[in-house]
Structure 1
Amino acid sequence: MPTTPVPTRSELIEHLVLTRIAGDVATPRENNLSHYRELANGNAYFWLGLELGDRWTDEQDVLAVMAERCGVNEDPEHRHGQDTIDPALTVDALDRTAALLRKAADERRRVLVATGHPGGLLGVHAATAAALEAAGCDMVGVPLGLTADEGVVAQLAGVAMYERGASLWHTHSPRPMAEILTALPLEGEELPDLVIADHGWAGCAAQAGIETIGYADSNDPALFLGEAEGTLTLCVPLDDHVANPRFYEPMTAYLLHAAGLT
């Protein structure tokens, strides 16, 4: 559980900007636009487990959603240099996430937490999993022996992750989550009521019809499109791998406090 003092909304916004979790982020504009273009061109790697079909074939439509829901620069002529995430949108999404976490705790829901970004977001997810478990939620245990993408589906501190070569790997792949969702019924276990994740872990769960909260960066448009279409329940915009993972601790403290889970 976080020991960081709980910031106010304005203090958190200031912190997000200072640490570049939001505001002027490190991901350059050209990288963002490249990913939007790849998604629009039908490259399923950038769909993060969602089935987007032919509904997002115009890069400008993708940009418009990202400007609205993430806070990137809306100008299509801005092709290079700095891009942004609106910190107010980040905190608004955290407030909505807190309400869903509170509901999950009140109803003792079955929850699965996972990350494709263990180098950045593991602390956020682990603290969330611990808080929900302490509140009485039924936390999903990942079946043993699952493999995907030449690696292993592991679980550490209540968080499902991708392991390969004795290391936890950054992955966008939906395959590890797909393996979990396939294996649970085979072992007589129920699927989760709620998934809290990022990257392909979140997209795959949402596509399977599970209520899903996803964290996403400005260069990962698929989850924002899934939210816009109603497939993904909620998407939190943020830089998902800043210089020091402890920079996320005030955000996590704010989230769990707002959810009444501290």
Structure 2
Amino acid sequence: MNGRIESYALRLLEAGVAGDRTSHGARDNLYKIEQVVMHNPVYTFGLEPLLEGVDFEEAYSAVGRFTGHPPDREENPERGRIDPVRTVEGLVEAARRIRKVAGGGGTLLFGTGHPGALLLYYLELSRWAETLGGRVLTAGTERLYEHGSPLDWVGKVGVLGDGAHLHHTHSPDPMRDVLGEVGAVDLVVADHGFAGAAAAAGIPAIAVMDTNDPALAVAALRAPDLLTVVPMDDNRPQNSYAVALDVIREAGGASAPFMER
């Protein structure tokens, strides 16, 4: 294994964003697969055009492909598994895509349905994209969404917030409305419905994917040029993702290939 990959994999394990103690275990992972197969909109993240005809076996296999383990494999009770090397691979591909768009002066949107865990991660990525020359967009919308909350922006990261709290959401509606306001955009960096709405609209997206996000896994396997997933626990404390940012910055700035293939 490439020494840098091994080093970062170990640090991701220590941070708890990958490994065998992830936030969602077999029961939840399998339940979410069943819900995606049933096209429950709470769990499809707006990706319905990319999920047509999906069955349990395809979704189960897709999650395993990105996490490196079957979604019902547990070595600790009620805790799933993510191979940290797969996380490094996803982060490296994310770095490549962000650098390509931002370095060419392209436009990017950032948003998260997991502000309690991932807000700092996206804030730092949006700032990095701007230092590379990218144009990071924001836009106002007129609707209220889940929790009766409008779309808010923390820096240049879209979130749902009511002035007192930031809210978790799976909904694709905020990103759909933002895309309606800004028009063409070159890349969306997000999760849950913020990413799903972009990919469903044919806009390239990068998405953090936890073990219980099978819709993202299926869509990424079916349309790899459209959707890149980063398999990573999305329920950790904000500072846990510092190592993920380190991987992206190093991979995005490396003069030689970060990954040896």
Q: Shared fold by TM > 0.5?
A: yes
Which of 171, 174, 177 aligns to 1:179? It is: 177
Q: Tell me the equivalent position of 1:166.
A: 164
Residue 258 of structure 1: CA displacement?
1.4
Counterpart-to-counterpart distance in 1, 2:27 and 2:196? 24
Which of 86, 93, 97 aligns to 1:96? It is: 93
Q: Tell me the equivalent position of 2:104.
A: 107
Do the aligned residues in 2 keep the contact of 1:172 with 1:199 (CA within 8 Å)?
Answer: yes
Do the aligned residues in 2 keep the contact of 1:116 with 1:200 (CA within 8 Å)?
Answer: yes
- 1:126 matched to 2:123: yes
Unaligned runs of 5+ in 2: 255-261
Q: Tell me the equivalent position of 1:205.
A: 198
- 1:28 matched to 2:22: no
Do the aligned residues in 2 keep the contact of 1:147 with 1:179 (CA within 8 Å)?
Answer: no
- 1:245 matched to 2:243: no
With the length of structure 1 as denominator, give the TM-score of the two structures. 0.87
- 1:70 matched to 2:71: no
Do the aligned residues in 1 keep the contact of 2:12 with 2:84 (CA within 8 Å)?
Answer: yes
Counterpart-to-counterpart distance in 2, 1:77 and 1:145? 44
Q: Tell me the equivalent position of 2:53.
A: 55
**How has the CA–CA distance of structure 1 residues 142 and 226 changed in structure 2, closer, same or farther, with 3 Å as cutoff?**
same
* SS of residue paired to 2:150: strand
- 1:219 matched to 2:212: yes
Do the aligned residues in 1 keep the contact of 2:66 with 2:217 (CA within 8 Å)?
Answer: yes
Counterpart-to-counterpart distance in 2, 1:77 and 1:123? 29
* % same residue: 31
Counterpart-to-counterpart distance in 1, 2:251 and 2:101? 14
Unaligned runs of 5+ in 1: 1-6, 185-189
* SS of residue paired to 1:84: coil
Over aligned residues, Cα RMSD in angstroms? Answer: 2.3
Do the aligned residues in 2 keep the contact of 1:70 with 1:89 (CA within 8 Å)?
Answer: yes
How big is each residue's C-alpha offset from its partner over 1:151-180, in whole Å with a ceiling of 9 and x where there is no partner? 111111210111135311011111111111
* SS of residue paired to 1:23: coil
Supply the AA of the counterpart residue of 1:17: L
Counterpart-to-counterpart distance in 1, 2:81 and 2:18? 7
* SS of residue paired to 1:219: coil
How big is each residue's C-alpha offset from its partner over 1:26-48, in whole Å with a ceiling of 9 and x where there is no partner? 31111111111111122121111
Residue 135 of structure 1: CA displacement?
1.9
**How has the CA–CA distance of structure 1 residues 64 and 28 changed in structure 2, closer, same or farther, with 3 Å as cutoff?**
same
* SS of residue paired to 2:109: strand
Do the aligned residues in 2 keep the contact of 1:194 with 1:212 (CA within 8 Å)?
Answer: yes
- 1:153 matched to 2:147: no
* SS of residue paired to 2:253: coil
Counterpart-to-counterpart distance in 2, 1:144 and 1:229? 31
Q: Tell me the equivalent position of 1:135.
A: 132
Q: Tell me the equivalent position of 2:258.
A: none
With the length of structure 2 as denominator, give the TM-score of the two structures. 0.87
Counterpart-to-counterpart distance in 2, 1:54 and 1:211? 19
Counterpart-to-counterpart distance in 2, 1:176 and 1:235? 20
- 1:234 matched to 2:224: no
Residue 69 of structure 1: CA displacement?
1.6
Counterpart-to-counterpart distance in 2, 1:137 and 1:126? 14
Counterpart-to-counterpart distance in 2, 1:47 and 1:66? 14
What count of residue pairs does the alignment treat as equivalent? 247
How big is each residue's C-alpha offset from its partner over 1:207-251, in whole Å with a ceiling of 9 and x where there is no partner? 011011111100011111111110742011000011x21111011
Comparing 158-167 and 190-199, the one that deviates more: 158-167
Counterpart-to-counterpart distance in 2, 1:213 and 1:120? 17
Q: Tell me the equivalent position of 2:38.
A: 41
* SS of residue paired to 1:143: coil
